[in-house]
Amino acid sequence: MAQTSKVFFSFANHHHWHSSTIDSIKIATPASLNSRHPVPKLLYSYDNVFHGFSAVLSKDELEALKKSKGFISAYKDRSLEAHTTHTSEFLKLNPSSGLWPASGFGQDVIIGVLDSGVWPESASFRDDGMPEIPKKWKGICRPGVEFNTSMCNRKLIGANYFNKGLMAENPDWNISMNSARDTVGHGTHVASIAAGNFVKGASYFGYAPGTAKGVAPRARLAVYKFSFDEGNVASDLIAAMDQAVADGVDMICISYGWRFIPLYEDTIAIAAFGAMIKGVLVSASAGNSGPNMGSLNNGVPWIFTVASGHTDRWFSGTLTLGNGLTIRGWSLFPARAIISNWPVIYNKTLSACDSAELLAQVPDAGRSIIVCQRSGDAEVVTDQMNYVAEARVGAAILITEDPAILRSTEFPNPGVVITPKEGKQVMNYVTKTPEPKASISFLETYLDSKPAPVVSASSARGPSRSYLGVAKPDILAPGVLILAAYPSNIAVEKIGTNVELATDYYLESGTSMAAPHIAGIAAMVKGAHPEWSPSAIRSAMMTTANPLDNTQKPIKSSEDNKRATPLDMGAGHVDPNRALDPGLIYDATPQDYVNLLCSLNFTEEQFKTIARSSANHNCSNTSSDINYPSFIAFFSPQGDLTWLEQKFRRTVTNVGSGAAKYRVKVKSPRNSNVSVSPQTLVFKKKNQKQSYTLTIRYKDNAEQIVESGSISWVEEKGNHRVRSPIVISPEIEVW
């Protein structure tokens, strides 16, 4: 009997094993070195989510690999469809270059989320692949109803809840979920957008399928619940933010706000001021009261105020008429309904689709498609869908050009929404064909829709009534139909009139969804630049934001398809990778913000409410002109056509690699002249500061139209372009 010898190889780790496997292929297939194909190259070695690797291989090298010991399977690399929000792709975050690897995906940065709690069982909060909890963390995992300490881990490192204020106002109440557990979904959704872990196979009933992940997937999460089913009060919010700062969070994300209250009564503004003093950046939602001017929340200078935009993702119901015409409409019907060559019904009496009783008269209703010809706004279309569902008509073709429908997930009945122009094509076919038929397919997700981003109509607009001295919002981020984690026991949608559906990942819209995007990106910028202040981080993100959409034209607002102004979108759409290396930053110290408060003519009590103690702060250098990366000037409501002038002084810090020279480039708003002095800034070394003045001379505007422009410092022989928006606005009443 022949003796079989065995050779054993020992590898220090999986990466060594995978690298050795690739090296063996190089040896086995030397011809590849002389071919037109690249040599085998190991890209990634995976050891946490699964054991394996990715590599660049020719067909011959793949065949050689298949013969190696330990081989199980191989798949061709391809682009995934939408990620957690599709925003990692949309924001061009890349695992091999830019902000993700530079920050370690936000690994040791702690994001505090102040909201409605968390659903700890979600896969987005697993700690697979997470290292030990940072030593700076001082918080707790507080047990409570249906929540114990074992539910926290190396991802969800803290959970706390605050309702003493709520209970004090309502002593007879019994808090139904007296713990950090989320019973409404909002907090879970927000937390997973900011820093959810990698989760394969996530989707919303088949829409937006792919690998879910937060913006900063390796950042740590600490959840502070202050909003309960029974309500919320300001005292609990302050307690939550105070504890978050004491616990050692680096960022705070809050998607709540109050309107129509003065600055010194704004709980979030007051608490955020204290956080800023301690070096903690606060990212907050602008609110969802747009597109009305001056509708913005959280508009104080020390808060990073975030507007909401559409991404380039489209959820489709594809309508195919019997004549072969195909229309890619809009649908989020949560099932793969089979509607193939069904009769299309058009009846003038029924075409308004405003009566379930009338719609029930449709012949063979359960297997027919009704054309709802009366176009209307999103609310009308939603009513039509509900009437169709109540009447149990098989499917519907609905018509609207209201972009608000693109923020809704309500599709209780199979249906597709099309534009009035497309509706004319449908009517032309239906009215001229003896027996019109059509098919509709669902669960389709398409990327690269144009134009994108687009400012959501619901996103609240500036200027800020809390403080007019800075332009708000600050920046635009994805906020429409964002896929993120959700409690699995909450009914999110329904089919028909009585079938309720739950899901682990839900699509929600609003500036609530935009704010955690900015918190996650800011966390990674902090991870890459731990010495930067909150103002420096915000400046880096604002001055590198993109004012153009994916057609390379100015970003538009969805409600009127007109060019968005800084009062709609701030400096532009966030560009995470550029924020890593902004070239210059506009920094501001806590004392600078105190100087600003000193300029507001507050009473001593009002001042102390925000700045704690006037005796401890120096008001000898009062200034309302904070060193902010944007500029705003106002004309009077009367518009008497006189020329006005406003001057600003700014100081920029060189955070580039060394000596640099910048020249100014100005785009003046219409009917204005903008001058800058000096026009060249020369830096001899890193961290050097230089100052300049900007003067806007502009004409009072009788038309009450917002005008905008920009100033950019462009590096000579370099790659940096440091852009700040300029806006001239009608003056509005301060709260």
Q: How does DSSP assign 175-238, residue by residue?
A: -TT-SSB-SSSHHHHHHHHHHPPPEEEEEETTEEEEEE--SSTTSEEEEEE--BTTB--HHHHH
Q: Tokens representing 339?
A: 């509607």
| Separation between Cα atoms, residue 83 and residue 620, nearest integer Å | 52
Q: Is 546 helix (H, G, I), strand (E, B) or coil?
A: strand
Residue 355, in any domain of the structure: yes
405 with 329, same domain?
Answer: yes
Q: Which of 108, 93, 111 is nearest to 522 (CA)?
A: 111
What per-residue confidence (pLDDT) applies to 703? 75
CATH number at residue 126: 3.40.50.200
Q: Which of 576, 575, 597, 577 is nearest to 588 (CA)?
A: 597
245 with 339, same domain?
Answer: no
Count other Cβ atoms within 10 Å, centred on residue 335: 14
Cβ burial, residue 685 (10 Å; 0-12/13-18/19+): exposed
Residue 575, in any domain of the structure: yes
Distances (CA, A) of 589 to 274, 279, 549, 593: 13, 10, 33, 7
465 with 386, same domain?
Answer: no
383 with 498, same domain?
Answer: no
Could you tell me the mean pLDDT of each successive run of 10 residues in the chain, 735 residues long? 39 60 66 51 36 62 76 40 53 88 91 97 95 96 97 98 89 92 96 96 94 95 95 88 94 88 87 92 95 93 97 95 96 94 91 91 91 86 94 94 90 95 95 95 93 96 93 97 96 92 95 97 96 97 97 95 96 97 96 91 84 66 92 80 90 96 96 96 97 93 86 94 96 78
Q: What number of CA atoms fall less than 13 Å from residue 361's CA on the CB side?
A: 9
599 close to 622: Cβ distance less than 8 angstroms: yes
184 with 288, same domain?
Answer: yes
User: Amino acid identity, residue 464?
Assistant: S
Q: Which of 471, 526, 474, 520 is nearest to 304 (CA)?
A: 474
**Catalytic residue from among 512, 557, 668, 672:** 512
Domain enclosing residue 54, as ranges: 15-67
Residue 75, in any domain of the structure: no
**Catalytic residue from among 86, 186, 517, 617:** 186
676 with 702, same domain?
Answer: yes
Q: Is 104 helix (H, G, I), strand (E, B) or coil?
A: helix
Distances (CA, A) of 81 to 92, 202, 329, 375: 14, 11, 19, 32
**Catalytic residue from among 108, 115, 250, 592:** 115
Distances (CA, A) of 701 to 241, 560, 630, 666, 704: 42, 21, 21, 21, 5
| Separation between Cα atoms, residue 199 and residue 210, nearest integer Å | 8
55 with 145, same domain?
Answer: no
What per-residue confidence (pLDDT) applies to 27? 59
Q: Tokens representing 81?
A: 């469809």
Q: Tokens representing 477?
A: 């981020």
The gap between the terminal CA atoms of the chain, to the nearest Å, is 95
The greatest distance separating any two alpha carbons of the chain, rounded to the nearest whole angstrom, comes to 108
Q: Which of 415, 441, 467 is the last residue of a domain?
A: 441
Q: Which of 67, 96, 129 is the last residue of a domain?
A: 67
Q: How many domains does the chain have?
A: 4
What per-residue confidence (pLDDT) applies to 613? 60
Residue 692, in any domain of the structure: yes
What per-residue confidence (pLDDT) applies to 82? 23
| Separation between Cα atoms, residue 67 and residue 515, nearest integer Å | 50
Between strands 493-495 and 499-501, the pairing is: antiparallel
Q: Tokens representing 202?
A: 């996530």
| Separation between Cα atoms, residue 23 and residue 41, nearest integer Å | 9
Q: Tokens representing 367?
A: 């297997």
Q: Which of 365, 363, 361, 402 is nearest to 383 (CA)?
A: 402
470 with 505, same domain?
Answer: yes
| DSSP state at residue 604 | H
| Separation between Cα atoms, residue 643 and residue 319, nearest integer Å | 56
Q: Tokens representing 53?
A: 């690797």
* DSSP H or E segment with residue 531: none
CATH number at residue 676: 2.60.40.2310
> Could you tell me how many residues make up the chain?
735
Sign of CA dihedral 615, 620, 625, 629: negative
Q: Which pTM value belongs to this model?
A: 0.86
What per-residue confidence (pLDDT) applies to 34? 43
Residue 606, in any domain of the structure: no
Q: Tokens representing 225?
A: 């619940």
Residue 614, in any domain of the structure: no
Count other Cβ atoms within 10 Å, centred on residue 363: 9
182 with 290, same domain?
Answer: yes
Q: Which of 375, 410, 441 is the last residue of a domain?
A: 441
Q: Which of 185, 102, 728 is nearest to 492 (CA)?
A: 185
Residue 618, in any domain of the structure: no
Residue 607, in any domain of the structure: no
Q: Which of 404, 401, 427 is nearest to 329 (CA)?
A: 401
Q: Does the active-site annotation cover 592?
A: no
Q: Does the active-site annotation cover 189?
A: no
Q: Exposure string (b/e) for 146-161, b if CB count within 10 Å is 16 or more?
A: ebeeebbbbbbbbbbb
| Separation between Cα atoms, residue 168 and residue 155, nearest integer Å | 33
481 close to 180: Cβ distance less than 8 angstroms: no
Token pair 């008497």 is found at: 640
Count other Cβ atoms within 10 Å, centred on residue 144: 17
Token pair 């910028």 is found at: 525
Q: Does the active-site annotation cover 512?
A: yes
CATH number at residue 372: 3.50.30.30
257 with 150, same domain?
Answer: yes
146 with 282, same domain?
Answer: yes
290 with 174, same domain?
Answer: yes
Token pair 């050097």 is found at: 688
Angle among Cα 58, 61, 64 to the nearest 5 degrees reads: 155
Which residues sit opposite 251 in a β-bridge?
Answer: 111, 281
Q: How does DSSP assign 25-58, residue by residue?
A: HHHH-GGGGGSSSPPPEEEEEE-SSSSEEEEE--
Sign of CA dihedral 88, 89, 90, 91: positive
Percent helix, strand, coil in the chain (nearest 5)?
Answer: 25, 25, 45
